[in-house]
Each structure stands twice: as structure tokens, then as C-alpha cells.
């Protein structure tokens, strides 16, 4: 395997040739000038927050319905999550989020859940934005002058494109990309960033490159399977731009067990983050729309159609 024969099993500070080639391929595919590869998407979320200067005393808006890493990264950065409600698209309800924003809120994590492409408002009141696009590999960043943004993607075993475990960030801003690099490499002992060991290895990058080269076909197939599932089970028509990580279906709470059995789906998706033991012990509560939607939700894997 060339990744091993190259002599860069783990890579140098900037990454070995496979890591560097993968970053250039990501930049070309997404038409973004700066990509950085890391050892996981959770590392990418944490690195993004640190790169944006988020730390102790700061607060970060985040949807209450997501995988726990969306909030854990905030805790790891030393900040406090502010759990917000979600809309009918399962993504952050910006009207609710901005009501919760105080002078301590410095950033927001916008989770593109189930592969739904959510939008941030045109005016973010100076908030930095971290996009958790772990379930939306087709999401293409859009440059917005004056807004500091980083997009984070996942390559773990559950994703459409996978190298077992890995992630990457995209940004239009050189300084943010440089700081993500410092975070992933112990700060290199030359900066105000402490840093961690978040580097992607060369063998991992080699696998990721091979997987990513097939992304467009896989995305097209996933949408075809989701459409087939919709027709097979008489599910609602797709009216959005989705990657279909999971296919969400809403029904009355008292009928969802029967619906899940009929269509082979999973009841719900995940526990709302404020209901998890760690966060509930801190006094967090789940917003009302999250509770309502979670009680009505059945999800399916598009690959099972």
C-alpha cells in the first residue's frame, strides 16, 4: 500500500502526501479554498469551535435534537451549550435560537440533520457559525462576507463515504483553516492554541480518497433508494434538498409503534440531548417542539429499500 511505503504512516505536521492530496481534492470538489482533514468529525467540531475562539465563559446555540457530539464539542471547548428548538425540517429553529441568545452567545452550531440542508439567516448578529454537516456530505459551503464559518463533515462507519473513522473541515478563511491545523497538531508549541492530536493518518486518508472519488454516484443511489422507499411505503413526497442519511416519517404518537412495524422503521432517532443523563443533571430541559416531533418520529435507513 503506497500510503505505508511512502514513509508517512502517521504523517508530518501538515499531513503526509495522502492527507495533503485528499485536502486538495476536497477543496476542488466543494469549490472552497481551505480543507483540513482530521481523525473524526467530533474532533472537527471541537477544532472548529477552538479555531473560532470559543472558550470558557462563552455560550453556543445548538439544536436540542442531534447526536450528542454536537453538544459535547461545546463542553470540551469549555463553553456552555444553549439548547434550542427545531423546526419541521428537524434543523435549528432560528427564531427560537435568537430569542435565547444573550451577550455571552458567541457562536451557533447548525446541524444538517438527516441530510436536510438547513439555512442560516442572512443576519446572524455577529455570531460565528459551525455547520455540523456530518449527515450531509453534498452540502456545499457558500461564502458570506463578514460571517466567520466552518463546515464539518464525517467519514465514520455509518456514513455514505467512510474510512472507518475520520472527518474534515472546510472554510473560506485562511486564518480559520490555519487555526484548525494548529488544533489538530498540538498547537505545534508555537502558538496560543494548546491543540490536541487530531491528525488523520496516511492509511486512513488513502481509504478516504478512494471512497470520496465515488461520492456523486453514491449520493444519486441514496436518493433513488429513498424515492423507492417513499413509493413502496406511500411516504410523503420529498420537497427538499436532502441527502437522506435517515428517512424521517411523522405520525401520531399512538400509531408510531404500528407504523414502525409495518414499514420496518426505527422508533425515533435519538434521545434529545437535554434528556441525556449528563445534561439533565445540569438542569437542562428539552424544548417543546423537539419533544413533540420526537414523539411522532419513525426513521428508516434508505439502504434497506
- Which pLDDT tens digit goes with each residue over 113-141? 999 998 877 667 789 999 999 999 999 99
Domain that holds residue 255: 215-304
Q: Is the pLDDT of residue 305 over 50?
A: no
* Average pLDDT for 209-233: 91
Best CA proximity match to 171, nearest among 162, 163, 161, 181: 181
Higher-confidence position of 44 and 305: 44
From 212, 244, 277, give the residue that closes a domain: 212
Alpha-carbon radius of gyration of the chain = 19
Q: Is the pLDDT of residue 238 over 80?
A: no
Q: Is the pLDDT of residue 1 over 50?
A: no
Residues 194 and 287 both lie in one domain: no
Based on the structure, what is the number of domains in the chain?
2
* Average pLDDT for 171-185: 95
Residue 254, Cβ neighbours under 10 Å: how many? 9
From 158, 190, 212, give the residue that closes a domain: 212
Residue ranges of the alpha helices (H) in 77-186?
A: 94-100, 174-184
Residues 181 and 62 both lie in one domain: yes
Output the pLDDT for position 125.
73
* Percent of the chain whose pLDDT exceeds 70: 92
Q: Are 19 and 37 in contact (CB under 8 A)?
A: yes
* Average pLDDT for 35-62: 97
Cα(75)–Cα(192) distance, rounded to whole angstroms? 20
Single pTM value for the model:
0.93
Q: Are 115 and 135 in contact (CB under 8 A)?
A: yes
Residues 168 and 261 both lie in one domain: no
CATH code (residue 38):
3.40.640.10
Residues 30 and 130 both lie in one domain: yes
Best CA proximity match to 139, nearest among 164, 114, 175, 166: 114
Q: Which helix or strand (DSSP H or E) is residue 160 part of? A: none
CATH code (residue 228):
3.90.1150.10
Amino acid at each position: 500500500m503506497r500510503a505505508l511505503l511512502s514513509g508517512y504512516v502517521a504523517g508530518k505536521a501538515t499531513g503526509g502526501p495522502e492527507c495533503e492530496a485528499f485536502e486538495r481534492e476536497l477543496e476542488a470538489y466543494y469549490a472552497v479554498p481551505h480543507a483540513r482533514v482530521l481523525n473524526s468529525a467530533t474532533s472537527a467540531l471541537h477544532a472548529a469551535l477552538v479555531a473560532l475562539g470559543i472558550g470558557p465563559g462563552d455560550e453556543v446555540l445548538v439544536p436540542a435534537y442531534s447526536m450528542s457530539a454536537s453538544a459535547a464539542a461545546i463542553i470540551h471547548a469549555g463553553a456552555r451549550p444553549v439548547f434550542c428548538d427545531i423546526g419541521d425540517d428537524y434543523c435549528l429553529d432560528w427564531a427560537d435560537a435568537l430569542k435565547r441568545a444573550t451577550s455571552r452567545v458567541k457562536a451557533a452550531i447548525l446541524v444538517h440533520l438527516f441530510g436536510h440542508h438547513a439555512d442560516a439567516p442572512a443576519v446572524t448578529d455577529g455570531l460565528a457559525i459551525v455547520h455540523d454537516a456530518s449527515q450531509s456530505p453534498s452540502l456545499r459551503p457558500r461564502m458570506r462576507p463578514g460571517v466567520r464559518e466552518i463546515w464539518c463533515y464525517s467519514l465514520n462507519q455509518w456514513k455514505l463515504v467512510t474510512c472507518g473513522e475520520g472527518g474534515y473541515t472546510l472554510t473560506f478563511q485562511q486564518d480559520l483553516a490555519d487555526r484548525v491545523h494548529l488544533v489538530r497538531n498540538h498547537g505545534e508549541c508555537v502558538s496560543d492554541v494548546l491543540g490536541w492530536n487530531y491528525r488523520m493518518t496516511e492509511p486512513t486518508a488513502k481509504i478516504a480518497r478512494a471512497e470520496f472519488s465515488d461520492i456523486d454516484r453514491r449520493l444519486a443511489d441514496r436518493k433513488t433508494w429513498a424515492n423507492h422507499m417513499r413509493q413502496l411505503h406511500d411516504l410523503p413526497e420529498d420537497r427538499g434538498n436532502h441527502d437522506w442519511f435517515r428517512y424521517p416519517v411523522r405520525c401520531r404518537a399512538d400509531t408510531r409503534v404500528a407504523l414502525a412495524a409495518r414499514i420496518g422503521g426505527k422508533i425515533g432517532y435519538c434521545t434529545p440531548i437535554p434528556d441525556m443523563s449528563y445534561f439533565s443533571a445540569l438542569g437542562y430541559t428539552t424544548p417543546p417542539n423537539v419533544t413533540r416531533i420526537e414523539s411522532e418520529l419513525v426513521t428508516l435507513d434508505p439502504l434497506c429499500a
